[in-house]
Structure 1
Amino acid sequence: MRFYNLWSTRFAGLSPVMQVLIMVVIGTVLADAMAAAFFLLGGYNRLDKTIYLTTLIVLTVGGPLCAFLVSWNHRLKQMTGELDTAFRKDGMTGLFTRHEFYLRVDHFIQSGNPVLSAGAILYVDVDHFKQVNDRYGHALGDDILLDIGILIRGMMGRRDVGARFGGEEFAVFLADADYGQAAWVANRILAGCRAVTRRAGERDVSVTVSIGVAFHASGQTLEQLVDSADQCLFQAKEQGRDRIVYGPSS
């Protein structure tokens, strides 16, 4: 298995022309060697024996080569799937990445009724998170982010989209949400994050979050909506953190 993995790694590093050339050379050498051996030892001089020999060579030489190509193709598909998942999903929290968030929410906005609001965005940021990492280590900080990610996933409906924007920043798009629905989810996230604790030595470490909430207005782009939520988040931090600031609802 180690030899196969080593060969596969080196084979993958070659150009397509070299890969084809190697496969052709290997197949030709093996087929010629088998044909020479059979004719010298078996005296194949009849059509039926020649057909039998040809079939045997194809199965013996072509079988392993086909198996290698099929397994290589399967491996490439697995790698492609893993890369696609890593590009779309945050490996720590299971939420979407920023890129996937923008794709999904923008599609939702573009496909909806342009006269109506598409919903609301909650921009969530963990307060003083750098101090948590510096004082208690990144492992504990990652555990806290994981708990917050689980909490956010539990707050979302079937059509909502949640993402980790990077570091300690999260975003939640609530499809078709009005002020009451957005406030209900935002307050549950605010209270839930206060309850997130992790043990560090002799003490429990807890965090708070600041949340900016913006409501989609008719004709507003996703970039404008996210920027509005970011401004509300900034105001929440300026007002003392551990709170929610709402933008105007449509």
Structure 2
Amino acid sequence: MAAIIGADTLTLVFYGIFFADRLLLDLFVTTVITVAVGFPLGYFFLRQQLKLALMAAKLDRAARIDHLTSLANRKTFFEEAEAIVGSEAFKEGAVLFMDADHFKSINDTFGHAIGDAVLQEMGSVIRSSIRESDLAARIGGEEFAVFLVEAGRDKTLEVAERIRQNMRGVRRAVGIEDREITVSIGICLHGPGQTLDDILLR
């Protein structure tokens, strides 16, 4: 539309002065030519722009999200948790550090495809067991971490127990009823002056 308005304006000025007798015809021809040439070019460049935007979004997601569980990855977890801790609004929080028990035996017995399915289901259980304001991540192998925002001791224990209980449904979801799938959960409440590294070490 911008190209048509621009082209027709120039035609109106130029032909209105020199060729006023055929002004309407020239306006029509200018519009047709602009649409015929401009639309394909505009479509091509907009399509390329959209492809680049989608590619950038995919790359950004790949850099931030764990591809298997769709939780945050280790890098994103540390960056976002540190930002939360460093904000003026932050008062209290806690970290849950989780490890799937005897995960190697699951891979050895059922294969890596089932192992991946177990990790995916564990990610779903963790995500559904916390609030949207909390941060969950797969930080490596069968290890997961959750940063609970504005959570004291009682709330943290409640969430940890909910996750532990909900993990019982993982084996049914992946079809290995004869194997118990459990997690060990370490809990550390955030104390004054503690960094995220300090909490994870504890």
Return the offset for 1:195. 4.2
Q: How does 1:1-250 map to 2 (within 5 A)?
A: 56-112=32-88, 116=91, 118-197=92-171, 198-200=174-176, 204-228=178-202
Query: What's the CA shift for 1:178?
Result: 1.6
- Quote how far apart the aligned CAs of 1:84 are: 2.2
Query: Structure 1: how far apart are the matches of 2:193 and 2:66?
Result: 30
Residue segments in structure 2 that go unaligned for 5+ positions in a row: 1-20
Match for 1:100: what amino acid? T
Name the count of aligned residue pairs: 179
Shift of 1:135: 1.6
Read off the aligned partner of 1:84 and give its amino acid letter: D
Contact 1:199 1:205 in 2 (8 A): no
- Following superposition, the deviation at residue 217 of structure 1 comes to 1.1
In structure 2, how many angstroms separate the alpha carbons of the residues matched to 1:87 and 1:52? 51
Summarize deviations over 1:44-90 as a string: whole Å, max 9, x none: xx986777666544433332122100111011112222222233333
Alpha-carbon distance in structure 1 between the residues aligned to 2:168 and 2:88: 35
Question: 1:170 deviation in Å?
Answer: 0.6
Which ranges of 4 or more aligned residues in structure 1 deviate by more than 3 Å? 46-59
CA contact 1:195–1:206 (8 Å) conserved in 2? no
Distance 1:66 1:195, change over 3 A: closer
Tell me the amino acid that sits aligned with residue 131 of structure 1.
S
Amino acid at match of 2:54: Q
Output the TM-score relative to the length of structure 2.
Answer: 0.76
Deviation per CA, 1:198-239: give whole Å up to 9, x if none: 325xx63332211111111111112222222xxxxxxxxxxx
> What TM-score results when the alignment is normalised by the length of structure 1?
0.63
Structure 1, unmatched stretches of 5+, are: 1-45, 229-250
Q: Of the two structures, which has the highest relative contact order with CA contacts closer than 8 Å and spacing of 6 or more?
A: 2
Q: 2:7 corresponds to which residue?
A: none
DSSP 3-state at the match of 1:75: helix
Deviation, 1:150, is 1.5
Quote the Cα distance in structure 2 between the aligned partners of 1:148 and 1:80: 29
| Alignment-mate amino acid for residue 227 of structure 1 | L
* Identical amino acids, percent of aligned pairs: 39
